[in-house]
């Protein structure tokens, strides 16, 4: 079984390239890797807002970041040539379902075309030994059933975002079979995680940022799909899965290459309304009403993952239950709204997370 603490220690001084480091998950991963003493190279579009986690952490001064577009293959290639990474984490994507309805072509271009460019760069760069390729739990054909999806379940997607992630999986599989399987000492995995929450997310149309924007302005939280059930997990959970898997791929590339789910235990499957209520209760204001708004776009109602493979083969487990996840989320946003140091808060959370023994 691979140990997270040992894996993180082993990344010291390693050259690691990640796409999407200006985003929610990518900024946390970049911080975690920088704290571990890795040489971090980030490639992404510039952060969208002043309050983005990337900016609050001062990552531009801490890692080697380049403002680039993954749809630009030549630029991405030049970045790979300069970085000569040993590890690649691909998180860059158009990550929002609603945005994908508004801009389907841009979503497909980024999530499929951009991913092809990334895979081409990996193919052309012999220094790369380990690839973690992030897709989504939404890559599975959603049957609205009560069982968790397994890694070998059918792929599919009704909305453009989900379809783009399913397509990115098929592309990954083709590169694996055609080019990567025969590459010596090379480990490659696609990773599928559920709905990720936590500090540092300001995306539009996501439940947690919507909650804190509303709480801050003392306005009702508007829920698009209050009854939709999601496997909520703290942002550090899937990232710990990616890191553990990267360690495992380094030790045994053949055994660990493939697809992996990283989701919370069943107790964290809650409705959107229950999550919003937990935020309000923990915040303690009691003044927020949960309003409901009909949405014209279809979104999956019921969706969660079966993570038996990562539990049994990788020894990975979620560390924070729903209550802890909600508490840490509120803790982070409270620190932000009170003007505390976000670098310190985020590092503290990484330390607390790493020290937690599995529930
Ligand atoms: N947050 C979640 O709940 C969740 C759930 C499942 C999967 N994911 C996946 O995890 C990954 C990271 O998600 P996130 O929540 O951090 O998203 P995010 O929107 O916060 O960040 C996306 C990142 O990708 C970059 N990006 C977007 N288009 C780009 C382009 N054309 N060229 C270069 N960079 C580009 C952005 O600049 C940003 O750095 C994505 O692949 C997403 O689909 C996220």
pLDDT in tens, 139-167: 999 988 889 999 999 999 999 999 999 99
* Atom nearest to 96 CA in ligand 1: 19
Q: Which residues pair with 271 in a beta bridge?
A: 229
- How far is the centre of ligand 1, averaged over its atoms, from the C-alpha of 17 (Å)? 15
Atom of ligand 1 nearest to the CA of 45: 37
List pLDDT tens digits, range 304-350.
899 999 999 999 999 999 999 999 999 999 999 999 999 999 999 99
Q: What is the mean pLDDT of residues 72-99?
A: 97
**Ligand 1 pocket test, candidate residues 27, 49, 88, 93, most atoms within 8 A of CB:** 93
Q: How far is the CA of 110 from the centre of ligand 1 (A)?
A: 10
Separate counts of helices (H) and strands (E) for the chain? 16, 13
Cα(27)–Cα(31) distance, rounded to whole angstroms?
Answer: 6
Q: What is the mean pLDDT of the chain?
A: 93
Measured from CB, residues less than 6 Å from any atom of ligand 1 are 19-20, 22-26, 44-45, 69-71, 91-95, 110, 114, 134, 136-137, 193, 195-196, 203
Q: Quote the tokens at residue 213.
A: 């924007």
106 vs 228: which has the higher pLDDT: 106
Q: pLDDT tens digit string along 213-229?
A: 998 888 888 887 888 88
Task: Give the residue, by CA position, lying nearest to ligand 1 atom 10.
Answer: 91
285 CA distance to ligand 1 middle (Å): 31
- Please list the residues that pair with 255 across neighbouring strands: none
The H or E element containing residue 230 is strand 229-231
Three-class SS state of 40: strand
Pick the more confident residue, 195 or 288: 195
Q: How far, in Å, from the CA of 202 to the mean position of ligand 1?
A: 12
CB 314 within 8 Å of CB 246: no
Domains and CATH numbers, the chain: 4-355 (3.40.50.720)
pLDDT at 300 over 70: no
CA 289–ligand 1 middle distance (angstroms): 30
What span, in angstroms and rounded, lies between the C-alpha atoms of 275 and 281?
10
Band of residue 293 on the pLDDT scale cut at 50, 70, 90:
low
Question: Of all atoms in ligand 1, which is nearest to the CA of residue 90?
Answer: 41
* Contact between 223 and 291 (Cβ < 8 Å): yes
Can you tell me which atom of ligand 1 is nearest the CA of 44? 34
The pLDDT value recorded for residue 359 is 56
pLDDT given for residue 3 in this prediction: 83
Name which residue sits closest to atom 2 of ligand 1, judged by CA: 196
Q: Which of 226, 229, 194 is nearest to 211 (CA)?
A: 226
Q: Which of 20, 70, 228 best tests ligand 1's pocket when mutated (most atoms within 8 Å of CB)? A: 20
Tell me, what's the pLDDT at 204?
84
- Mean pLDDT throughout 260-277? 92
pTM for this structure? 0.96
* Average pLDDT over every residue of 3-19: 94
| CA of residue 188 to ligand 1 center, whole Å | 19
Longest CA–CA separation in the chain, Å: 60
- Confidence (pLDDT) at 219: 87
Point out the ligand 1 atom lying closest to the alpha carbon of residue 110.
31
pLDDT given for residue 74 in this prediction: 98
Give which of 86, 9, 98 is closest to 40, Cα–Cα. Answer: 86
């Amino acid at each position: 079984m691979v140990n997270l603490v040992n894996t993180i220690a082993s990344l010291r001084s390693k050259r690691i390239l990640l796409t999407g480091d200006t985003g929610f998950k990518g900024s946390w991963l970049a911080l975690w890797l920088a704290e571990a003493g890795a040489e971090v190279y980030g490639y992404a579009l510039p952060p969208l807002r002043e309050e983005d986690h990337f900016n609050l952490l001062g990552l531009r001064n801490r890692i080697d970041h380049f403002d680039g577009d993954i749809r630009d293959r030549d630029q991405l290639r030049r970045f790979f040539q300069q970085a000569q990474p040993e590890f690649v984490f691909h998180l860059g994507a158009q990550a929002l379902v609603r945005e994908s309805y508004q801009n389907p072509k841009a979503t497909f271009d980024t999530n499929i075309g951009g991913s092809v460019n990334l895979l081409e760069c990996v193919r052309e760069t012999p220094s790369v030994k380990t690839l973690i390729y992030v897709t989504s739990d939404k890559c599975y054909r959603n049957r609205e059933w009560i069982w968790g999806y397994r890694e070998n379940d059918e792929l599919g997607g009704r909305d453009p975002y989900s379809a783009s992630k399913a397509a990115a999986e098929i592309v990954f599989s083709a590169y694996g079979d055609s080019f990567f399987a025969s590459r010596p000492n090379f480990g490659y995995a696609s990773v599928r995680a559920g709905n990720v929450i936590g500090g540092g997310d300001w995306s539009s149309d996501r439940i947690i940022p919507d909650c804190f924007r509303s709480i801050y302005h003392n306005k009702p939280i508007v829920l698009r799909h209050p009854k939709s059930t999601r496997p909520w997990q703290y942002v550090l959970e899937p990232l710990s899965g990616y890191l553990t898997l990267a360690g495992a791929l380094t030790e045994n590339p053949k055994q660990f290459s493939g697809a992996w789910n990283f989701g919370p235990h069943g107790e964290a499957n809650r409705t959107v309304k229950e999550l919003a209520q937990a935020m309000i209760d923990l915040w303690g204001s009691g003044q927020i009403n949960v309003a409901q708004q009909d949405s014209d776009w279809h979104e999956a109602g019921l969706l969660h993952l079966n993570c038996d493979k990562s539990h049994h083969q990788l020894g990975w487990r979620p560390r924070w239950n729903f209550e802890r996840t909600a508490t840490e989320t509120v803790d982070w946003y409270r620190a932000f709204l009170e003007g505390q140091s976000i670098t310190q808060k985020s590092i503290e959370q990484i330390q607390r997370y790493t020290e937690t023994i599995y529930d």
